Structure 1
Amino acid sequence: MTTIDKIAWLRLEAGKILSTRSRGKDVYYLPGGKREPGESDIQTLVREIGEELTATIAPDSAVHAGTFEAQAHGHAIGITVRMTCYTADYQGTLEPGSEVQELIWLTYADRERVSPVDQLIFDHLHQSGRLL
């Protein structure tokens, strides 16, 4: 089995979660991505959010919010995604970077519009009362 190791930013406001859609993709993903060699989780988070959303994560504010694993969207059976999630404060304006076509605030009603691993995260956040 192959595992894709990703880091994601959980940004919730007023019961909605920030999500993104990359160019050419048909589903929404939580912002974040794969680590570069030698990067820590937090270094990956800071770099990816800077690239995707042109905002600056405050590294000292990052808190681990869970790790989730599911079948990778658009990949062969047996390829999974392990998504390590963090909450964190940020500075700047959230705007789509070069890789992102759209950013959107989703609720639990949008669960079917996100990747399988994000669906697990939506379930967790909904059950804990954080995602409406």
Structure 2
Amino acid sequence: MTLIDKIAWIHLEQGSILSTRSHGKDAFYLPGGKREPGESDVETLVREIDEELGVAIEASSAQRFGTFEAQAHGRGDGVLVRMTCYTADYHGTPVARSEIAELRWLTHADRDRVSPVDQIIFDHLLDLNLLLAHPE
């Protein structure tokens, strides 16, 4: 078994969650990415969100939301992704940068458009009444 360790930002507004699609990918993912050697979760979060969205995460406001595991999207059997998610305040306006081709606000109705681990997170957010079942 191979494990991909990723950090992601949970950013909700009015029952929708900010998601990203990378160039050449067919699924949406929560913004974030893999840690560099020696980085903490929050250091990874700050760096990745700046690189992908051009916004400054307030490190002191980061709160762990949860850790979720699933088969890695587009990878062979036995390749799992472990996504540790954080909420955090930020400064700036998110825009698609670096490998990000598109930003989109999604609801639970878009569950089939996201990676397997994001589907688990979407279900959890719906159970907590944080994510809308359908757009209003």
* Shorter-chain TM-score tier: over 0.9
Q: CA deviation at 1:99?
A: 1.0
Runs of 4+ in 1 over 2 A off after TM superposition: none
TM-score between the two structures when normalised by the length of structure 1: 0.99
Give the TM-score normalised by structure 2.
Answer: 0.96
- Residue 131 of structure 1 is matched in structure 2 by 131
Work out the CA distance in 2 between the residues paired with 1:80 and 1:98. Answer: 24
Separation (CA, whole Å) in 2 of partners of 1:21 and 1:57: 20
Query: What secondary structure, in the 3-state scheme, does the structure 2 residue paired with 1:67 have?
Result: strand
2 CA distance for matches of 1:21 and 1:102? 5
Aligned-CA RMSD value: 0.3
Q: Which residue of 2 aligns with 1:5?
A: 5
Secondary structure of 1:46's match? helix
Q: Deviations over 1:25-59 (max 9, x none)?
A: 00000000000000000000000000000000000
Deviations 1:38-97 (A, max 9, x none): 000000000000000000000000000000000000001000000000000000111011
**What percent identity do the matched residue pairs reach?**
69
Amino acid aligned to 1:35: R
Superposed, 1:20-39 pairs within 5 Å as: 20-39=20-39
Aligned match of 1:60: 60
* SS at structure 2 position matched to 1:104: strand
**Deviation, structure 1 residue 100:** 0.4
Inter-partner Cα distance in structure 1 for 2:97 and 2:56: 12
